[in-house]
Structure 1
């Protein structure tokens, strides 16, 4: 059944009341027509619950604008949406086209800060090493749009889109990202399912990170992080205490990044959320700890750049070379595939926020019980 505006409707009963499904929900392909975003294709999703969001086809099928009931859930940077053709791959050039949005994908062969690493796996003598810019290339690559639309499954309806993003070079990597985004009519959650394949013939390094950017009005003075943290490690010279409470924008603020070990539920799911109890509004994230063994919080509470990032990652904040030294740098064999996924959703009202807070606390308590039994 589809739940809309206090009522429940089966397929026939809903379609009797509308000329087209898009009267209440749907997916629409549009092309941006001005500024740096001119020519970028986007898929506009509306679920009918008040949730609407854009899948940016020409930016790795990432999620840009995301709103619930007219209120933004994400942070949009001062850069705005720009075409991938403006990408500057060297050093910190990533920031020139980092538009924010609900989801920015980082990878496919590199994430985190810059590094220079061996390229011997590609057997090309003039290319002994490879230089990697911040967070890799994938978010600045256009997708091939495989398909999109609405599909009825019994009495429920799924909005969906699929795309493929190829990151490739002659004498270099050939990695293929297949992404499917789904949302159900009448619901306030988004499902992202990814598969990364080494479509080449050389063993290829692989790193992957979901940069989820929560913004105002969810992020505001008094907002908080809900996460089943069993330990917290700052990435710089600042305290870990209070890392999960947020304040108003601060002049001259310098970003703070925290890596925390999070307890998982039975089956490996990890629940994380940023909530604003005053507004009765939050954004939650569910991911698989088996796919993403690490998780970061990016606190950037400055003026204009006012955002909290909740970021599942295949690797630690120390980055590529540290991962290589630890033996943790993934190398995909020719033809090897890895699956990833995440659910993003809305917490509306005090009861939903409290229910999720109990879920987080239960995950942490479960971890404590297991450690106690192990002793």
Structure 2
């Protein structure tokens, strides 16, 4: 391991400190003020300077994230609201926006994208012929069950910080889906490894949609930041893209009154079967790369929220096209899980440090495919 510039084995490090948490480790806390009061969280710290907050009571999503003191995960101003404050059907189904905060807010498990009313007769409960969904589903307001939070030996001998949680989305006469999420950081690492398994505990075929709303904020998002991706073509864009004319590739400074811009890009997977995208600072000094298994989440959205006071970019791998739930049912692309059937998702978020690293990632992505101007 490289610990503060010194190459040390685990045994050598143990000789130098009576408690490894002086260098890196895991700590369980409970947030205790304002709208966050009562939310359980887990803080993970690596010796490389990566700090990550896992929100146990917010679907095991990722809250604050920092690298060497600089924030990586976006903070919207909402705070990590206790799930008891969430009203799923408020504001025409848009109340999810009041929960949008932090590095990762997951959408699912049976619905993502914009809300609406869909058929529910498959559940054979006559009083409920349909179900109404809000934006990005119910997942984010469900507390998780903490299964594991400890240091484990890594494959190379480097200790690994591992936390595991389970989130169950269920109702009588409806869906009964389970998300099991494993998050790992190397003791001396700058990469977050996310592994999710979603399975159907119920006995009716159940729709499954899943989306990661990965939110990167300042200073990793700033004027001149470059979005790099292997894009075959642009499949869809919001009306605001043409109306405002802001580039999807190079970011401006914050703009007062900016209207969010959303695009769906058709990405080209690399030889390893993974999609890769990155945000790179104008001077190449820092960046963040997201990579995931293309088979599990073949779709990808770029969310530009460049409004003053809200300044962020969302990188959004998705199981389904931006047209959403109703369209997926009509065209046959909806995923239905039978009893015991599961889907797996593997994603990494890597902090890039220095021009050598950012240039190497840009070149590697360009080698997969170019991207339109």
- Residue of structure 1 equivalent to 2:46: 47
- Residue of structure 2 equivalent to 1:317: 322
- Residue of structure 2 equivalent to 1:12: 11
Q: For residues 211 and 64 of structure 1, what CA distance do their matches in structure 2 show?
A: 12
Q: For residues 115 and 8 of structure 1, what CA distance do their matches in structure 2 show?
A: 55
- Residue of structure 2 equivalent to 1:107: 108
Q: Is structure 2 residue 354 aligned with structure 1 residue 349?
A: yes
SS across alignment from 1:135: coil
- Residue of structure 1 equivalent to 2:299: 294
- Residue of structure 1 equivalent to 2:281: 276
Which residue, 215, 229, 232 being the options, matches 2:231? 229
- The structural deviation recorded for 1:122 is 0.6
- Residue of structure 2 equivalent to 1:370: none
- Residue of structure 2 equivalent to 1:362: 367
- The structural deviation recorded for 1:242 is 2.6
SS across alignment from 2:125: coil
SS across alignment from 2:16: coil
Map Cα deviations across residues 42-61 of structure 1 (whole Å, 9 max, x no partner). 10000110100100000111
- Residue of structure 2 equivalent to 1:177: 179
- Residue of structure 1 equivalent to 2:208: 206
Q: For residues 155 and 324 of structure 1, what CA distance do their matches in structure 2 show?
A: 47
Q: Is structure 2 residue 254 aligned with structure 1 residue 262?
A: no
SS across alignment from 1:14: helix
Q: Is structure 2 residue 242 aligned with structure 1 residue 243?
A: no
Q: For residues 110 and 309 of structure 1, what CA distance do their matches in structure 2 show?
A: 19
Q: For residues 241 and 106 of structure 1, what CA distance do their matches in structure 2 show?
A: 26
Higher deviation after alignment, 266-275 or 239-248: 239-248
Q: Structure 1: 5+ residue runs without aligned partners?
A: 368-375
- The structural deviation recorded for 1:241 is 7.7
Higher deviation after alignment, 145-154 or 170-179: 145-154
Q: For residues 194 and 111 of structure 2, what CA distance do their matches in structure 1 show?
A: 20
Q: For residues 214 and 346 of structure 2, what CA distance do their matches in structure 1 show?
A: 13
- The structural deviation recorded for 1:19 is 1.3
- The structural deviation recorded for 1:235 is 2.5
TM-score (norm 2): 0.95
TM-score (norm 1): 0.95
- The structural deviation recorded for 1:146 is 0.4
- The structural deviation recorded for 1:152 is 2.5
Q: Structure 2: 5+ residue runs without aligned partners?
A: none
Higher deviation after alignment, 206-215 or 83-92: 83-92
- The structural deviation recorded for 1:155 is 2.8
- The structural deviation recorded for 1:267 is 2.5
Contact 1:32 1:38 in 2 (8 A): yes
Counting only pairs closer than 5 Å after superposition, residues 95-134 of structure 1 correspond to structure 2 as 95-98=97-100, 100-134=101-135
Q: For residues 236 and 63 of structure 1, what CA distance do their matches in structure 2 show?
A: 27
Map Cα deviations across residues 325-344 of structure 1 (whole Å, 9 max, x no partner). 21101000111111012000
Q: When the two structures are aligned, how many residues end up with a matched partner?
A: 364
